[in-house]
Structure 1
């Protein structure tokens, strides 16, 4: 029975010899020389081939230098591969931990002792210090040279004169702006009221531009007459419906016996519902009112005396008559009843005309009693 061969020992021998030699020939020779018997060498030679190919498959640049020599064989100096100082190690640790100088746990590289203080304390170090430090100290202690120059003082007066000349010369743009300001100030009217920067506007704003009085007088008065129980919003809604009805209704057929006040032609009235409403109200508004005075002529007899009315009083009486007449119409909506009554007044079909004519007849009859009112 043939003896057992230790293949692991042969492979280890090949690996050890391949470190000291380079190339396929050295590995082969080392493997062959390490065997004691021809049989063992044969087996080692056969087993060394795959291991040798795997280990020597690296590039030539990784194991050799520029001159073809092994990097491992080069001699190293005595100061190479030394450990870093404590401060450098702390700085490297802080860099890895992303700490900055001055933070808690960070390096304190700036807290070292200056070289000048060490040299002042240690006389031996002062004698043996490098030549570079000696030259630096000698240049600082040189008493023959001065650290400043007096050449700048010679031109001090000249520089001051140049600055004064620059202040006197004004740029053209600045001068133009100054002239514009002076011209604007000269054109200011001395009669401008105190507190106004510019002259107040001469034209007055229209009345409708006021936020609290932006509606026409007739519209506002008619709306207040429509209001019940203080519901102004509902009254404004009804007024809007009335104006919409006047705008969309056909032109009125005006009765020549009961004409409206002078204004635009009848076909153009629906185009302006506010003017349409104004003409209707002012046409049936009474001019006078009859007041009863007791004992004016003596005794207990009552005398009717006509009194003139202002515009607002006349319109109030006309609106009241129109609203009273609209209550007799058969319609469920209040705004529609009032709008139909206004159209009837424009066409001369309303009973409001009769009330107006009746008051005017009474005033014409009682006009002789005006003298008693003047006497009083």
Structure 2
């Protein structure tokens, strides 16, 4: 077999490749001096076709006065919206709950609030909060037996502990009319109204606890 045929094909390939390189150099020299001038032309043309920022529509932002007018037209005030969960109602419901039946406790709280509203023609939730606040002690008494003597030491309560003790005293005081056939929700509603009027056994318990704490104030130790 002769070697002339592969040599001829190699020569043809080299001649065509040299021609293509010459054409590329001539096109680059005729342009701006770099081999990427066609790419630059494409980028320039695409950027010229994209809309500028000045051509975009500017929508006016609503002012605070417009927002307030829209809220007033809807019939409510944003600042008067109550929280999702009222801490006092939630604590009161948990204290009323038995055997994990929270639905029944919530229904009972609803009936109590309805009775308060019917009796006073006022918003029932502030009445309940005020009653819990009036019946909440600020301290607790710790007793310790030491050498045949009981030592009482007063301790301050947190806000939640105060409210919980106040609710417990309200429920305890409402047990007086249990033998009269009165339902529990009615007894609790009456006790809340009695606390607001200043006529309840809760105030006696408050006075006794604060008196014991005052007499044993020397047993308090700084933490």
| TM-score scaled by length of structure 1 | 0.38
Runs of 4+ in 1 over 3 A off after TM superposition: 166-171, 177-180
Among 116, 119, 122, which residue is 1:246 paired with? 116
Match of 1:241, SS state, is helix
Among 317, 333, 336, which residue is 2:165 paired with? 317
Show structure 1 runs of 5+ residues with no match. Answer: 1-162, 181-205, 209-213, 252-269
Match of 2:51, SS state, is helix
Per-residue deviation at 1:333? 2.1
- Distance in structure 2 (CA, Å) of the matches to 1:221 and 1:169: 65
Per-residue deviation at 1:224? 0.2
- Distance in structure 2 (CA, Å) of the matches to 1:250 and 1:229: 32
Among 292, 298, 303, which residue is 2:151 paired with? 303
- Distance in structure 2 (CA, Å) of the matches to 1:309 and 1:215: 23
- Distance in structure 1 (CA, Å) of the matches to 2:95 and 2:55: 63
Q: How is 1:160-171 mapped onto 2 (pairs within 5 angstroms)?
A: 167=45, 170-171=48-49
Q: How is 1:1-376 mapped onto 2 (pairs within 5 angstroms)?
A: 167=45, 170-171=48-49, 174-177=50-53, 208=83, 214-250=84-120, 270-271=122-123, 273-295=124-146, 299-329=147-177, 330-370=180-220, 373-374=221-222
Structure possessing the higher radius of gyration over alpha carbons:
1
Number of aligned pairs?
A: 158
Contact 1:242 1:335 in 2 (8 A): yes
Per-residue deviation at 1:238? 0.4
Contact 2:173 2:191 in 1 (8 A): yes
Per-residue deviation at 1:179? 7.4
Contact 1:331 1:337 in 2 (8 A): no
Whichever structure has more helix as a proportion of its residues is 2
Q: Flag the 1:366–1:223 CA change in 2: closer, same or farther, 3 A.
A: same
Match of 1:230, SS state, is coil
> Which residue of 1 is the match for residue 71 of structure 2?
none
Show structure 2 runs of 5+ residues with no match. Answer: 1-40, 57-80
Per-residue deviation at 1:215? 1.4
Partner deviation per Cα, 1:34-93 (whole Å, 9 max, x = no partner): xxxxxxxxxxxxxxxxxxxxxxxxxxxxxxxxxxxxxxxxxxxxxxxxxxxxxxxxxxxx
Per-residue deviation at 1:279? 1.1
- Distance in structure 1 (CA, Å) of the matches to 2:112 and 2:175: 15
Partner deviation per Cα, 1:69-124 (whole Å, 9 max, x = no partner): xxxxxxxxxxxxxxxxxxxxxxxxxxxxxxxxxxxxxxxxxxxxxxxxxxxxxxxx
- Distance in structure 2 (CA, Å) of the matches to 1:222 and 1:304: 29
Partner deviation per Cα, 1:262-311 (whole Å, 9 max, x = no partner): xxxxxxxx23x22221111111111111111233xxx3422111111111
